[in-house]
């Protein structure tokens, strides 16, 4: 009878442990990135009363007779299934959609590394991306991620201009402007004027035929600096269009095709000379399709400067699904500052919980594999969202009921065994 009492005690112990695990799961039902744990039992030893016997002669074999000695805890396993998504809209809130853990560190050289699924990060006063406990978030190169708001982007000089859009065929004159930047980042406004529409099916006023393989029309194009001085086209330069209204080429004063580059050079005090190249690239895209047209649609052609920008500092930043932290400068330029690093393990269930939504690796978790989101086995990032706890309350309450009944049943074993022992003691009376 003592065996049954000790079995009951072991049952009480493991069911109490299971209730502790269930209580912790329920307590963390709203904890960001929390992973629920499950408890499994196993029997302890069995006392053999009689061993098994083999058949002999006309007599059959006998099975062993054993009495179990209770129950023990087999495992407490962390369930790493993905939790539900909560959209927050904050740029520093990140969720991993798939495999992987964020990597955190609390030392200068980022040698102490911790892993988490909780992506509720913030910026500190130095611009470092940190978890709520102050641990720094590491990039794919195992370096702390910093958004340095004092970082500047040097001014870049405009290298060329494009003209895209449409000029209404019936407009006898059309003017647009384009801003260009010098080496100091100062802006200069150029004016581009189109005049003198000439159909190519007739002779020009000078009596020369337009040299073209297709019929269409031409327009004189002239460019002026911000003081109104002509810097291109004073000696007559023409833009040729075909019968569908698409750009064909540049013509000189004799209506001959211009194949060589022509430069516009602006002398700017205190800055490098600003050189703009005039050629077909001003009117064609990368696939040599015309971006300047002349049709009956509304005139909306405009000039676009290439590459140039004033100096700027970081004004804001974004984080993409592949983990790129992109700084947005006040001059409109963008720069990739870092890429969020992720770690993955052959056996995530082998990680050791440290509290604070953090794990560390163990001999049974395997060596961490690191990389960038959306590469290899790593999942995508979901910026502006958080992964919530994967605790299922309905399942936890069901386990709670069965655990409570198991505890009650084991306590009844102890009280019943005690009553039997009491009866045995009473035999003496």
Q: Single out the residue in 263, 286, 306 at which a domain terminates.
A: 306
**Residue among 121, 127, 125, 123 nearest 148 (CA):** 127
CB of 194 closer than 8 Å to CB of 228: no
CB of 136 closer than 8 Å to CB of 105: yes
Q: Are residues 146 and 180 in the same domain?
A: no
Q: Are residues 119 and 91 in the same domain?
A: yes
pTM of the model: 0.69
Q: Are residues 234 and 274 in the same domain?
A: yes
Q: How many whole angstroms separate alpha carbon 365 and alpha carbon 379? A: 19
- Residue 55 in domain: no
Q: H/E/C letters for each residue in 373-395?
A: CCCCCCCEEEECEEECCCCCHHH
Pairing of strands 342-344, 369-371: antiparallel
Q: Are residues 180 and 286 in the same domain?
A: yes
- Residue 57 in domain: no
Q: Are residues 280 and 204 in the same domain?
A: yes
- Residue 349 in domain: yes
Q: Find the length of the chain.
A: 429
If one counts the domains in the chain, the total is 3
Q: Are residues 209 and 253 in the same domain?
A: yes
Pairing of strands 230-232, 216-224: antiparallel
Q: Single out the residue in 242, 272, 306 at which a domain terminates.
A: 306
Residue 29 domain boundaries? 2-50+66-80+390-426
Q: How many whole angstroms separate alpha carbon 360 and alpha carbon 87? A: 27
- Residue 178 in domain: yes
Q: Are residues 376 and 300 in the same domain?
A: no
Q: Provide the CB-side half-sphere exposure for 96 (13 A, CA).
A: 28
CA 45 to chain centre: 52
CB of 312 closer than 8 Å to CB of 329: yes
CB of 301 closer than 8 Å to CB of 173: no
Rg of the chain in Å (alpha carbons): 39
Q: Are residues 166 and 297 in the same domain?
A: yes
Q: Are residues 89 and 164 in the same domain?
A: no
Q: Single out the residue in 306, 339, 372 at which a domain terminates.
A: 306
* CATH at 292: 2.60.98
CA angle 160, 163, 169 (to 5 degrees): 155
CA 173 to chain centre: 49
Q: Are residues 238 and 168 in the same domain?
A: yes
pLDDT tens track of the chain, all 429 residues? Answer: 578 888 888 999 999 999 999 999 999 999 999 999 999 999 888 878 888 888 888 888 888 888 888 899 999 999 999 999 999 999 999 999 999 999 999 998 889 999 999 999 999 999 999 999 999 999 999 999 999 887 777 778 888 899 999 999 999 899 999 999 888 888 899 999 999 888 765 444 455 554 444 478 899 999 999 999 999 998 889 999 998 999 999 999 888 899 899 999 988 888 888 999 999 999 999 899 999 999 999 999 999 888 777 777 888 899 999 999 999 888 777 889 999 999 999 999 999 999 889 999 999 999 999 999 999 889 999 999 999 999 999 999 999 999 999 999 999 988 888 888 888 888 876
């Amino acid at each position: 009878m003592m065996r049954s009492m000790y079995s009951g005690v072991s049952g009480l112990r493991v069911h109490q442990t299971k209730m502790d695990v269930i209580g912790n799961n329920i307590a963390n039902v709203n904890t960001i990135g929390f992973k629920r744990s499950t408890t499994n039992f196993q029997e302890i030893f069995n006392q053999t009363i009689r061993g098994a016997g083999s058949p002999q002669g006309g007599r059959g074999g006998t099975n062993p007779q054993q009495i179990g000695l209770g129950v023990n805890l087999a495992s407490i396993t962390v369930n790493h299934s993905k939790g539900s998504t909560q959209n927050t809209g904050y740029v520093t809130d990140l969720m991993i959609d798939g495999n992987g853990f964020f990597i955190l560190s609390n030392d200068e050289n980022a040698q102490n590394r911790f892993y988490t699924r909780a992506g509720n990060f913030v910026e500190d006063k130095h611009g470092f991306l940190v978890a709520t406990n102050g641990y720094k978030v590491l990039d794919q190169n195992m370096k702390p991620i910093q958004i340095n708001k004092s970082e500047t982007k040097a001014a870049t000089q405009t290298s060329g201009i494009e003209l895209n859009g449409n000029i209404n065929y019936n407009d006898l004159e059309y003017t647009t402007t384009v801003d260009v930047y010098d080496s100091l980042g100062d802006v200069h406004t150029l004016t581009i004027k189109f005049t003198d529409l000439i159909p190519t099916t007739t002779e020009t006023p000078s009596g020369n035929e337009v040299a073209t393989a297709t019929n269409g029309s031409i327009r004189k194009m002239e460019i002026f600096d911000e003081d109104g001085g002509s810097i291109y086209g004073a000696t007559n330069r023409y833009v040729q269009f075909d019968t569908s209204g698409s750009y064909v080429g540049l013509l000189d004063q004799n209506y001959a095709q211009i194949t060589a580059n022509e430069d516009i050079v602006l002398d700017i005090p205190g800055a490098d000379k600003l050189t703009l190249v005039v050629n077909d690239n001003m009117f064609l895209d990368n696939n040599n399709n015309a971006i300047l047209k002349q049709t009956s649609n509304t005139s909306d052609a405009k000039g676009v400067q290439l590459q140039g920008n004033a100096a700027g500092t970081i004004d804001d930043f974004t984080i993409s699904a592949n983990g790129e932290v992109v700084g947005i400068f006040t001059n409109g330029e963008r720069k990739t500052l870092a890429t969020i690093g992720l770690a993955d393990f052959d056996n995530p269930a082998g990680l050791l919980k440290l509290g604070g939504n953090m794990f560390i690796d163990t001999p049974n978790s395997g060596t961490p594999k690191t990389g960038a989101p959306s590469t290899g086995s790593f999942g995508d990032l979901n910026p502006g969202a958080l992964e919530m706890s994967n605790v299922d309350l309905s399942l936890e309450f069901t386990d709670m009921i069965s655990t409570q009944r198991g505890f009650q049943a084991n306590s009844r074993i102890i009280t019943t065994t005690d009553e039997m022992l009491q009866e045995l003691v009473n035999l003496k009376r």
